Amino acid sequence: MERRAKVIIIAICVVAAIGIFAYSQYLSATHLSISILESKVIQRNDNNSLYNMTLQFQNPSLLPINVGQTDFVISVNDENLGTGTLQPLVIPPMGKISSSAPFTADNTVLDKYSNNDVIPKVKLSGTSKYGISIISVNVPFTYYPTEQEAREFIHGS
């Protein structure tokens, strides 16, 4: 009976340790900071503009964060400008990493604001899939670019 109790206690400790690790990874993922380093128009046609954005992720935790494929939406003054996808990446502990993210913008929405001196409210939102131990967790995020980042994004420079 004593051996069985030890096995049960060890199993509970292992499960608790995995749970604590997974929860700390989840907390780290929710505190990840995102910024737009650069956005350039690669190609423009009558309907759409293809951007190449460089996003920077900063990991504030002491653990590496494994970010899976991330689908995102950029909106301007609550109008859907377009969508993009960021490929999987690993962000080192207490580190930063930059990643290229192609994005297709709707020119109808973009043109409303590109010749205007007033900077609209730009929002980058989406859902990242994080690999935490043996499970995957979807974590939504929202990022509001600075006025300078929004200006550069709208004007494609």
Q: Which residues of the chain have pLDDT under 70?
A: 1, 18-31, 116, 130-136, 155-157
What CA–CA distance (Å, rounded) separates 135 from 140? 16
Taking the C-alpha atoms of residue 157 and residue 152, their distance in angstroms, rounded to an integer, is 5
2-155 CATH pick, 2.40.50.1070, 2.40.50.140, 2.60.40.10, 3.20.20.140: 2.60.40.10
Nearest to 28 by CA among 86, 90, 84: 90
Provide CB contacts within 8 A for 77, sequence distance 6+: 113, 120, 121
pLDDT for position 133: 57
Q: How much is the pLDDT for 135?
A: 66
Q: Tell me the β-bridge partners of 142.
A: 125
- Per-residue confidence (pLDDT) for residue 11, from 0 to 100: 77
DSSP letter (8 states) at residue 134: T
Residue 22 has what pLDDT? 62
pLDDT of residue 27: 61
Supply the pLDDT for residue 127.
81
Residue 28's H or E segment, with its range, is helix 2-30
pLDDT at position 53 is 86
Q: What is the pTM of this model?
A: 0.70
Chain centroid to CA 152: how far?
19
**In this structure, what token pair is assigned to residue 123?**
């929002």
pLDDT at 145: 84
**Distance of alpha carbon 151 from its chain centroid, rounded?**
20
The confidence score (pLDDT) of residue 120 equals 81
